[in-house]
Amino acid sequence: MKPPTLLDKIWSRHVVQTLGEECLLYVDRNFVHEESTQAFEALAAEERPLLRPASNIAFCDHYAPTRARERGVEGIADVEIRGMIVQLGVNAGRHKLRHFGIDHAQQGIMHVVGPELGLVLPGFIVTGSDSHTCTNGAIGAFSFGIGQSELRQVFMTQTVWRRKPKAMRIAIDGELSTGVTAKDVILDVISTIGANGGSGYALEYAGSCTARMSMGERMTMCNMSVEAGSQAGMIAPDETTIAFLEARQPLADRALWARAACDWLTLRSDADSAYDRQVKIDAAAVQPMVTWGTSLDDAAPVHGCVPDPGRLGDSERRGRMERALSYMGLKPGTPMADIGIDLVFIGSCSNSRIEDLRVAAQVLKGRRVRVPAVVSPGSRSVKRQAESEGLDVIFREAGFDWRDSGCSMCVGSNGDTVPAGKRCASTSPRNFEGRQGPGARTHVMSPAMAAAAAVTGKITDVRTLLGAA
């Protein structure tokens, strides 16, 4: 047998049965949100119990309002949205699930709350009713989103059928420049391999730069693996992972914890593992990145220009680029730094953790925004931490609207939208047509870059504000 990869090691521990090219996998943790109604209804229709309630956790995030939260669910004017939030609570109560509802002190985005509360451990297989469940791969888990029919199966059996993906190793080596962040790195990766480059693969991020990343930075990387077409992004657990988890676990049995930690540290690809594909990224060459189109591989360095589709020989690619530029209202050759911004959003499951807010606040301190700007912390815990550090004061004094936690303007389904035709500098993970509202034009970038756009009113190299360019 060939030396195993990280994926191989986790996969082999969870196979219950093999049928042809598919394996029945045991699921350690399953996350659900407001859009899981269909799977719950299937349970009710078949009069089946949810097999392992303790392994399934519910979160109110996609439709959670980020304003007037003190009014609770009764303050939600939209009857349909209010009904979905209420129904999630009803279903969670009926099946005795842990539920981070709209009034819970630790409510927030499922991909933020799960890791911050230590609900995911290395070696786990984690499923969730959202494609960005891959965020949890930062902890050394094989984690992916599933649909309603698969969610029904997990509810009933705590297992899911999966065809094993191929393994792609993405080695990021070297030092990042000042002002360049994990968000820039993953945008660079996606622009390198393409929005479908990871299709059929599990992406394993490695290299010296990855090893130096904080857990929050690793979560940003793994979170956006799905934007490269992959079902999962993973990073092998190391001492940084162990320290992160130790701060979040009740350690009544130190000996048991020590044994677990030793086992987790073995969950790394062997030195001579054979990958199906390998990609190398020079961290020192990565620049602050910004998207110009309607796909995550439509990205360019901040000092670059909007590309010219006329230079492409591939007619299909040329047509897609022309449609993207038409939707975005951009002309080929336009310098990225000449693009004006109408609105700024800092938040989402990609970049709403405490360190994201710290980075943005560093740029904003002592400055004022030129355009409307919104910040939504990823969880109530993050919000409390930020307020204890005085970050909310910096955001407010700069002119930002300091809101409550939730998916907010990333999904545009909870009252937080970008008006049609307006440009939003956004830290969200997606930029397809209408993602932030009908006709909304989204430019994805890092929290630091979004803060820079807020104070200048246009796409701006944040390094010029940090004195590093």
Confidence class for position 455, pLDDT limits 50, 70, 90: very high
Same structural domain, 104 and 137: yes
Answer yes or no: is 1 within a domain.
no
What is the number of other CB atoms lying within 10 angstroms of the CB of residue 318?
A: 15
Rg of the chain over Cα atoms, rounded to whole angstroms, equals 22
**Sequence-ordered alpha helix ranges (H) in 365-466:** 380-388, 391-398, 447-456
Q: Domain containing 307: what range?
A: 289-464
Confidence class for position 254, pLDDT limits 50, 70, 90: confident
Beta-strand relationship, 373-375 and 401-402: parallel
Contact 269, 276 (CB under 8 A): no
Helix, strand, coil tally for the chain in percent (to 5)? 40, 20, 40
* The pLDDT of residue 261: 95
Identity of residue 32:
V
The tokens for 22 are: 């598919």
pLDDT averaged over every residue in the chain: 95
Same structural domain, 248 and 214: yes
Answer yes or no: is 24 within a domain.
yes
Same structural domain, 44 and 159: yes
Which candidate, 199, 418, 174, places its Cα nearest to that of 281? 174
* The pLDDT of residue 469: 59
- The angle subtended at Cα 227 by Cα 241 and Cα 222, nearest 5°, is 0
Same structural domain, 324 and 460: yes
Measure the CA–CA gap between 445 and 88, rounded to whole angstroms.
Answer: 32
Helices 254-264/239-246 angle, 10° precision: 150
Contact 430, 347 (CB under 8 A): no
Name the domain boundary from 163, 181, 204. 163
Same structural domain, 158 and 171: no
How does 388-408 read in b/e, with b if 16+ C-beta sit within 10 Å?
Answer: eeebbebbeebbbbbbbbbbb
Same structural domain, 294 and 317: yes
pTM of the model: 0.96
Same structural domain, 224 and 303: no
Answer yes or no: is 420 within a domain.
yes
Same structural domain, 256 and 355: no
Query: In degrees rounded to 5, what are phi and psi of residue 450?
Result: -65, -40
pLDDT tens for each residue of 324-354: 999 999 999 999 999 999 999 999 999 999 9
* The pLDDT of residue 365: 97
Beta-strand relationship, 166-173 and 29-32: unpaired
Name the domain boundary from 285, 319, 344. 285
Contact 357, 112 (CB under 8 A): no
Measure the CA–CA gap between 83 and 338, rounded to whole angstroms.
Answer: 44
Which candidate, 350, 330, 361, 331, places its Cα nearest to that of 454? 361
- Number of domains forming the structure of the chain: 3
Name the domain boundary from 233, 253, 285. 285
Identity of residue 333:
G
Question: What residues contact residue 19 under an 8 Å CB cut-off, 6+ apart?
Answer: 161
Same structural domain, 172 and 23: no
Whether residue 83 is predicted with pLDDT greater than 80 in this model: the reply is yes
Whether residue 3 is predicted with pLDDT greater than 70 in this model: the reply is yes
Measure the CA–CA gap between 291 and 459, rounded to whole angstroms.
Answer: 10
Distance of CA 441 to the CA centre of its chain: 20
Answer yes or no: is 469 within a domain.
no
pLDDT tens for each residue of 409-432: 998 877 889 999 999 999 999 999
Answer yes or no: is 347 within a domain.
yes
Whether residue 200 is predicted with pLDDT greater than 80 in this model: the reply is yes
* The pLDDT of residue 78: 84
pLDDT tens for each residue of 211-245: 999 999 999 999 999 999 999 999 999 999 999 99
Same structural domain, 378 and 445: yes
Same structural domain, 191 and 139: no
The tokens for 382 are: 């993050």
* The pLDDT of residue 314: 85
Measure the CA–CA gap between 138 and 156, rounded to whole angstroms.
Answer: 27
Whether residue 110 is predicted with pLDDT greater than 80 in this model: the reply is yes
Same structural domain, 246 and 137: no
Answer yes or no: is 267 within a domain.
yes
Q: Which CATH number belongs to the domain containing residue 418 in this structure? A: 3.30.499.10
Answer yes or no: is 156 within a domain.
yes
Type and span of the H or E element at 78: none
Measure the CA–CA gap between 122 and 120, rounded to whole angstroms.
Answer: 7
Per DSSP, what are the bridge partners of residue 17?
24
Contact 29, 55 (CB under 8 A): yes
Contact 351, 446 (CB under 8 A): yes
pLDDT tens for each residue of 26-56: 999 999 999 999 999 999 999 999 999 999 9
Answer yes or no: is 108 within a domain.
yes
DSSP 5-24: -HHHHHHHHHEEEEETTEEE
How does 3-28 read in b/e, with b if 16+ C-beta sit within 10 Å?
Answer: ebbbbbbbbeebeeeeeeeebbbebb
